[in-house]
């Protein structure tokens, strides 16, 4: 019996690409799709899935918040995050939130199928980079003083990455379905926590630490 997979991604080309790749397998099938956070939650509640493949950058709620909610309702549902963002941005945070794997969208088809199979069968997929990052955090002392961006909440970190990518506050508010005032408040907190004074410093920091 094939593993039933739910794909949550707002880009049709990604959903179609995944469907085509898995069409050549005997044990995996895309059995459902969602294009935003609310639809993802609704589809998860409809039936028992064997795997959720989740994009980080869908409109609405952040993926990290979404992972936490889904795991609270369906703790046995494995989640593989499939993202265009570098691993340094979200991988460790996604795993902490409850995901069982994180894969960059630049991965080739063979690696993608292997990661999907592993997570769908109850395993955990970690790239060498993510494995090293998590191992460092387990070392005595936590691998040293945490970098400023690691002190941010998941939502603050998401907004930091969006600001660093050059998005305006109004654009971020629209994408996250929140008010401009809320984004501005988050920006003020981010600057305070990171000991910075303006967006230019945030962008410079993000580039230096490969967050964009």
Per residue in 7-41, pLDDT (tens digit) is 999 999 999 999 999 998 999 999 999 999 899 99
- Please state which of the four CATH numbers 3.40.50.620, 3.40.50.720, 1.10.10.10, 3.30.70.100 is assigned to the domain occupying 148-208: 1.10.10.10
3-state SS of the chain? Answer: CCEEEEEECCCHHHHHHHHHHHCCCCCEEEEEEECCHHHHHHHHHHCCCCEEEECCCCCCCCHHHHHHHHHHHCCCCCEEEEECCCHHHHHHHHHHHCCCEEEECCCCHHHHHHHHHHHHCCCCECCHHHHHHHHHHHCHHHHCCCCHHHHCCHHHHHHHHHHHCCCCHHHHHHHHCCCHHHHHHHHHHHHHHHCCCCHHHHHHHHHHCCCC
In this prediction, residue 72 carries a pLDDT of 96
Q: Could you tell me the CATH superfamily of domain 3-136?
A: Response regulator (3.40.50.2300)
Q: How confident is the model at residue 50 (pLDDT cuts 50, 70, 90)?
A: very high
Where do the structural domains in the chain lie, given as residue ranges?
Answer: 3-136, 148-208
């Amino acid at each position: 019996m094939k593993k039933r997979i739910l794909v949550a991604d707002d880009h049709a080309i990604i959903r179609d690409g995944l469907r085509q790749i898995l069409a050549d397998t005997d044990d995996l099938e895309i059995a459902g799709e969602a294009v935003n956070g609310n639809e993802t939650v609704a589809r998860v509640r409809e039936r028992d899935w064997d795997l959720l493949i989740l994009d980080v950058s869908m409109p609405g709620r952040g993926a990290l918040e979404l992972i936490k909610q889904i795991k609270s309702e369906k703790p046995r549902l494995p989640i593989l995050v499939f993202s265009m963002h570098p691993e340094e941005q979200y991988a460790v945070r996604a795993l902490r939130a409850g995901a069982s794997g994180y894969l960059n969208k630049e991965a080739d088809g063979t690696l993608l199928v292997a990661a999907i199979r592993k997570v769908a069968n109850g395993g955990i997929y970690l790239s060498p980079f993510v494995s090293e990052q998590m191992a460092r955090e387990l070392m005595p002392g936590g691998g040293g003083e945490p970098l400023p961006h690691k002190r941010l909440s998941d939502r603050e970190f998401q907004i930091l990455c969006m600001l660093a990518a050059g998005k305006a506050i109004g654009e971020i508010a629209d994408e996250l379905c929140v008010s401009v005032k809320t984004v501005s408040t988050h920006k003020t907190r981010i600057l305070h926590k990171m000991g910075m004074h303006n967006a230019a410093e945030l962008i410079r920091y993000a580039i230096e630490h490969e967050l964009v």
